[in-house]
Amino acid sequence: MDWESFYDAHPSPSNYEPTITAVENFVCSHENKKIVLVTSGGTTVPIEQNTVRFVDNFSVGTRGSASAEYFLEAGYIVIFLYRSNSLEPFVRHFNNSLLDKLEIVDDKLIQVKNSEFDILYPILKKYKDAKEANRILTVPFTTLIEYMWLLRGACMLMDTKYSLLYLAAAVSDFYIPPNEMSEHKFQSKDGPPMIALRLVPKVLKAVTHIWAPNAYIISFKLETDNRILIQKSKEALKKYKHQLVIGNLLHTRKRNVKLISQDDVVEDIVLTDQDIENGIEIEDLIVSNVKAKHDIFLKSHK
Ligand code: 9Z3
């Protein structure tokens, strides 16, 4: 199925209109400023219409949520399109530990423990500053179909050279069309369910050629076999003609990525053990590199 038929066959999710209107208002309020769409986390593929079970993937949203923070620091306006319940910028630092950082003073007052202040303050300050200046919009999705609609809608609103599309979400290649799904929960008494997965159409070509041809576009390539990572990344660049592929391997993704550009240059970003001990995050280095590339792009597209 091609991408046009995919959108024809799968109507927009119920909350699509208000969500995309919010994106449009946000984009309009930041005209001619550098703005990035960060996609983050994995998509779910329901296997029953009344969904009890779904197919998911490993992504927890570290790449996207950390990158969104560094983009804000680098002066970008951020649209964070993320899988509901995956990691979010700023909040990610406290996901399971917030309650341990607080103490009850008396039955009218709760405060941050003294020992936690220096950790919490800078993060809370950046969060509040970004929120108060309306510099970040967070847009959740859960299913593959929700993601596909929101990606298209957001890209079409961001078709300018000031836009960076940073497509870090782990998007399923396979899905079950709703009309082929069982309506109700599978019953074990009926034996093992037979599930036929269909291919999800590749939409990157539509992103680069139709929806946002003027934007600076970065896709991510995930592999588990080191021997094919660079070759597959180069193939994607050739096929979709966008600006950059960031390649990574499942097990080393937090310490090594490769940036592959149209001129066939491969840049390696590697964190040492020392860097990791010092709390350096690879997304900090990725975002600085990407920002420099986007600045050059902007200069050459005056
Ligand atoms: C990535 O490769 C991201 O870096 C990760 C980040 C998903 C590995 P985490 O969320 O992981 O920090 O746990 N994203 C793109 C994955 C993807 O689906 N790419 C497609 C492919 O490789 C192309 S668009 O075929």
Does ligand 1 lie within 6 Å of residue 61's CB atom? yes
Closest ligand 1 atom to Cα of 223 = 22
Does ligand 1 lie within 6 Å of residue 62's CB atom? yes
Does ligand 1 lie within 6 Å of residue 253's CB atom? yes
**Do residues 113 and 103 make contact, with C-beta atoms less than 8 angstroms apart?**
yes
Does ligand 1 lie within 6 Å of residue 170's CB atom? yes
| ipTM summary value | 0.96
Q: How far apart are CA 248 and CA 41, in angstroms?
A: 15
Q: How far apart are CA 285 and CA 271, in angstroms?
A: 9
Residue 91, pLDDT score = 96
Residue 230, pLDDT score = 97
Does ligand 1 lie within 6 Å of residue 152's CB atom? no
Q: Is the torsion defined by CA of 96, 288, 219, 34 positive or negative?
A: positive
Question: In 3D, which of 257, 215, 218, 216 has the Cα closest to residue 236?
Answer: 218
- DSSP-H helix ranges across the chain: 3-9, 16-28, 62-73, 117-132, 144-157, 204-206, 226-240, 273-277, 282-300
**Do residues 163 and 212 make contact, with C-beta atoms less than 8 angstroms apart?**
yes
β-pairing, 77-83 with 35-40?
parallel
β-pairing, 136-141 with 109-112?
unpaired
Report CA Rg, the chain.
21
User: Distance, CA 234 to ligand 1 centroid (Å)?
Assistant: 16
pTM of the model as a whole = 0.97
**Do residues 77 and 60 make contact, with C-beta atoms less than 8 angstroms apart?**
no
Closest ligand 1 atom to Cα of 204 = 24
109 forms beta bridges with: 106
Greatest Cα pair distance in the chain: 65
Q: pLDDT truncated to tens, each residue of the chain (302 aa)?
A: 899 999 999 999 999 999 999 999 999 999 999 999 999 999 999 999 999 999 999 999 999 999 999 999 999 999 999 999 999 999 999 988 999 999 999 999 999 999 999 999 999 999 999 999 999 999 999 999 999 999 999 999 999 999 999 999 999 999 999 899 999 999 999 999 999 999 999 999 999 999 999 999 999 999 999 999 999 999 999 999 999 999 999 999 999 999 999 999 999 999 999 999 999 999 999 999 999 999 999 999 98
The tokens describing 38, both together, are: 């960060």
**Do residues 206 and 3 make contact, with C-beta atoms less than 8 angstroms apart?**
yes
Does ligand 1 lie within 6 Å of residue 68's CB atom? no
Residue 302, pLDDT score = 82
Q: Residue 265: CB partners within 8 Å, gap ≥ 6?
A: none
Residue owning tokens 């960031």 = 246
**Do residues 158 and 35 make contact, with C-beta atoms less than 8 angstroms apart?**
yes
Closest ligand 1 atom to Cα of 248 = 2
Does ligand 1 lie within 6 Å of residue 219's CB atom? yes
Does ligand 1 lie within 6 Å of residue 142's CB atom? no
User: Distance, CA 108 to ligand 1 centroid (Å)?
Assistant: 45
Residue 96, pLDDT score = 84
